């Protein structure tokens, strides 16, 4: 009988036995959490103790405060430098604008000076003129602006102070050669009506072919088909 019982226990047909722990799983998790917490606290204590031993915390707060103060000082200096840079840039912009305005004024003065010199050159021609009360051409000037452009100026004057108003026409013609042959041109817009009481200046620009060689320019004042005054200049 005992042998049969022993054989049943040792063979596959023996009854299954389940082994259960005497401690419930919530208690096991709680125990594990306590162990882990204790281990973490122990590790933190060891780390802090190690830092104290190594001297890592010595002066750290003072250095941090100094660094923060340095950052504040650097930010203030940066702000001042930026303000100075902005002011300098504004002054530079204003100076450039003033310089450009001055350049424009100088150019305008140069242009006005050129006009005054031209007027002076024309009026200087009045000094050696002979007497008389008739309208006459006292100044005819021609200058080449470009290879194909000529600028002309004519000054007409009545020497008498109380001379009546003169009404007539101004004719302007150019003469020269083109490829070895004679060439002439009447200025566009002429005869041009003119009305002169004391003096009158007329000017204009004429386009000529680049191959033309202009040799003379003639100005005429005509009234009723009669030529009242004429002047010719050579180039």
Q: Residue 168, class by beta-carbon neighbours within 10 Å (0-12 exposed, 13-18 middle, 19+ buried)?
A: buried
Task: Quote the Cα angle for 201-192-222, to 5°.
Answer: 90
Most confident of 34-43, 70-79, 124-133, 166-175: 166-175
Residue 26 in this model has a pLDDT that exceeds 60: yes
Mean pLDDT, residues 117-123: 64
Comparing 10-14, 34-38, 142-146, 180-184, which segment has the lowest mean pLDDT? 10-14
pLDDT score, position 131: 47
pLDDT score, position 129: 47
Q: Residue 125, class by beta-carbon neighbours within 10 Å (0-12 exposed, 13-18 middle, 19+ buried)?
A: middle
pLDDT score, position 128: 46
pLDDT score, position 121: 63
Residue 152 makes CB contacts below 8 A (sequence gap 6+) with 140, 141, 142, 172, 187, 203, 204, 205, 206, 217, 219
Residue 57 in this model has a pLDDT that exceeds 70: no
What mean pLDDT, rounded, does the chain reach? 76
Residue 234 in this model has a pLDDT that exceeds 80: yes
- Which backbone phi and psi does 194 adopt, to 5 degrees? -135, 150
- Which backbone phi and psi does 43 adopt, to 5 degrees? -65, -40
* pTM of this structure: 0.45
pLDDT score, position 133: 58
Most confident of 3-12, 80-89, 119-128, 148-157: 148-157
Residue 36 in this model has a pLDDT that exceeds 70: yes
Mean pLDDT, residues 171-185: 88
Q: Which residue has the tokens 């100026």?
A: 153
Pick from 152, 169, 149, 187: which is nearest to 229 by CA? 169
pLDDT score, position 62: 75
What is the widest separation between alpha-carbon atoms in the chain?
Answer: 177
Mean pLDDT, residues 99-119: 82
Residue 52 in this model has a pLDDT that exceeds 70: no
> Helix, strand, coil: what percent of the chain each, to 5?
45, 30, 25
pLDDT tens-digit readout, 179-200: 888 988 888 887 888 888 888 8
pLDDT score, position 130: 46
Q: What percent of the chain shows pLDDT beyond 70? A: 70
């Amino acid at each position: 009988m005992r042998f049969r019982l022993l054989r049943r226990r040792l063979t596959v047909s023996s009854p299954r036995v389940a082994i259960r722990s005497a401690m419930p799983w919530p208690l096991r998790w709680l125990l594990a959490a306590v162990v882990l917490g204790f281990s973490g606290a122990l590790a933190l204590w060891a780390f802090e103790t190690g830092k104290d031993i190594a001297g890592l915390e010595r002066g750290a707060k003072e250095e941090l405060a100094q660094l923060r103060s340095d950052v504040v000082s650097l930010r203030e200096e940066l702000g001042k430098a930026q303000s100075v840079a902005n002011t300098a840039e504004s002054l530079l912009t204003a100076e450039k604008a003033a310089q450009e305005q001055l350049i424009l004024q100088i150019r305008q003065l140069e242009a006005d000076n050129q006009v005054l010199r031209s007027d002076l050159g024309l009026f200087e021609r009045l000094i050696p003129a002979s007497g008389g009360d008739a309208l006459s051409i006292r100044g005819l000037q021609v200058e080449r602006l470009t290879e194909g452009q000529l600028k002309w100026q004519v000054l007409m004057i009545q020497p008498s102070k109380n001379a009546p108003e003169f009404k007539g026409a101004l004719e302007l013609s150019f003469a020269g050669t083109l490829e070895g042959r004679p060439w002439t041109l009447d200025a566009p817009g002429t005869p041009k009506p003119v009305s002169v009481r004391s003096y009158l200046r007329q000017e204009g620009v004429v386009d000529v072919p680049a191959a033309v060689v202009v040799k003379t320019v003639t100005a005429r004042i005509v009234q009723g088909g009669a030529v009242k005054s004429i002047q010719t200049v050579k180039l």
